Amino acid sequence: MSIKLSVPLVLTLLASLSAVSAQQCNATSHCPSSAPCCSEFGFCGTGSFCLGGCNPLASTSLTSCSPEPVCQNANHTFTDFSRILSNATYFDGNATKYDWVVNQGTILNSTAGELAMTLTQDNGGTRLSSTRYVHYGTITARLKTGRWGGVVTAFITMSDIKDEIDWEFPGNQTTEGQSNYFWQGVVPTPTDGKTHGNLTDTFSNFHDYTIDWQEDTLTWLIDGNAVRTLKRSDVTGSDGISRYPSTPSRIELSLWPAGINSSGQGTIEWAGGLINWDDPDYKAAGHFYALVESVTVSCADAKTNSANATSYVYGTNSSAFSPSVAVSNESTVTNAAVGALAASKAVWGALVGGGALALGAVLL
């Protein structure tokens, strides 16, 4: 379908896609079967609530969330945005159609063909998520970070039960990157964030930041050089539980406002202070920005998965401490209306058209 739909029609279609319940959910208070999926933001619903970020441990059952699109080797570049869905709300789970969804904010096309993530006082920052998951693999983002205190650039992997691996860049320290990881939403030891420095200015220069996440070893690299290694055995306790990221994860790229009044004091300090909305960079461009040139993905399971593999599913034998994950041939696509997708593409054209000019002005 390539008909343009009016905005009211889009909203009607959207409402019909996802039954929303105001009920909140977490690992101790699961969703009811009438609204079985616990979204990334902790609310119960159906439809899009069951897609990326849906937490199996907080949903009605471990199999309530939609199957997660399986990893696929790729070299993503951003000279055009045809593989990016401008609003994640309209995603129907079809990873053949889109590589990325925008969860929040506005992306712009730079004059050199990079993807620019913007941060304004009003947009709360920009976040993109990959539509496919990685269940171990090597991921490299070539990017230029944002800059100035309070402005944080991030390239991370995030699973639906909040296993997380980070590269983060507080914007007042543009010669360093920080590595970190979480297991089911917690940092196993508070001192696990590490700083890796001596880089040429990360705002002005592209660097390759790599997360090499294998079943037993996790390595962070900068420009191909390993700067940190974590072994699964290092974080396996005497209780036998490995506090090691182990579940399929989406790749997330973001530029976010850590230095705002509503953040915790520790977060503000970590980020290098409150954002100065009178900063000349901000005034000139109308936004802060970070640029992504490419993201390459090499899946650890690409060779061993059957050609029919389409998805990852959480197993019925999961426990909260060690959820089991299986590769399946179940479809990842929900019953979402195709019309809504066509309509959101129409909306996209307008966003890019207006925005590219604004960014071009500052880059030139």
Interacting residue with ligand NAG among 73, 195, 205, 214 (CB under 6 A): 73
Catalytic residue (one of 164, 176, 215, 293): 164
Interacting residue with ligand NAG among 33, 34, 96, 335 (CB under 6 A): 96
Radius of gyration over every alpha carbon of the chain, rounded to an integer in angstroms = 20
Interacting residue with ligand NAG among 49, 81, 182, 209 (CB under 6 A): 81
CA 8, 115, 70: angle at the middle one, nearest 5?
80
Residue 269 within binding range of ligand NAG, rule CB under 6 A: yes
176 is known as an active-site residue: no
Interacting residue with ligand NAG among 12, 104, 180, 217 (CB under 6 A): 104
Hey, what amino acid is at 276?
N
Minimum CB separation from ligand NAG for residue 252, in Å? 14
Residue 362 within binding range of ligand NAG, rule CB under 6 A: no
Residue 113 within binding range of ligand NAG, rule CB under 6 A: yes
Minimum CB separation from ligand NAG for residue 315, in Å? 7
Interacting residue with ligand NAG among 204, 236, 317, 335 (CB under 6 A): 317
Q: Which stretch binds ligand NAG (CB under 6 A): 69-77, 159-167, 201-209, 229-237?
A: 69-77
Residue 333 within binding range of ligand NAG, rule CB under 6 A: yes
164 is known as an active-site residue: yes
CA 242, 129, 342: angle at the middle one, nearest 5?
145
How many C-beta neighbours within 10 Å does residue 294 have? 17
Residue 308 within binding range of ligand NAG, rule CB under 6 A: yes
Catalytic residue (one of 68, 168, 252, 293): 168
Residue 97 within binding range of ligand NAG, rule CB under 6 A: yes
Long-range contacts, stretch 262-270, CB < 8 angstroms, 24+ apart? 268/150, 270/170
Residue 180 within binding range of ligand NAG, rule CB under 6 A: no
Interacting residue with ligand NAG among 61, 94, 294, 305 (CB under 6 A): 94
Interacting residue with ligand NAG among 2, 198, 238, 265 (CB under 6 A): 198
Residue 304 within binding range of ligand NAG, rule CB under 6 A: no
| Cα gap 351→85, rounded to integer Å | 12
Which chain residues interact with ligand NAG by CB under 6 A?
A: 11, 14, 24, 26, 28-29, 73-75, 79-81, 87, 89, 94, 96-97, 102, 104, 109, 113, 172-173, 198, 259-261, 269, 272-275, 277, 296, 306, 308, 317, 329, 333, 352, 356
Catalytic residues: 164, 168
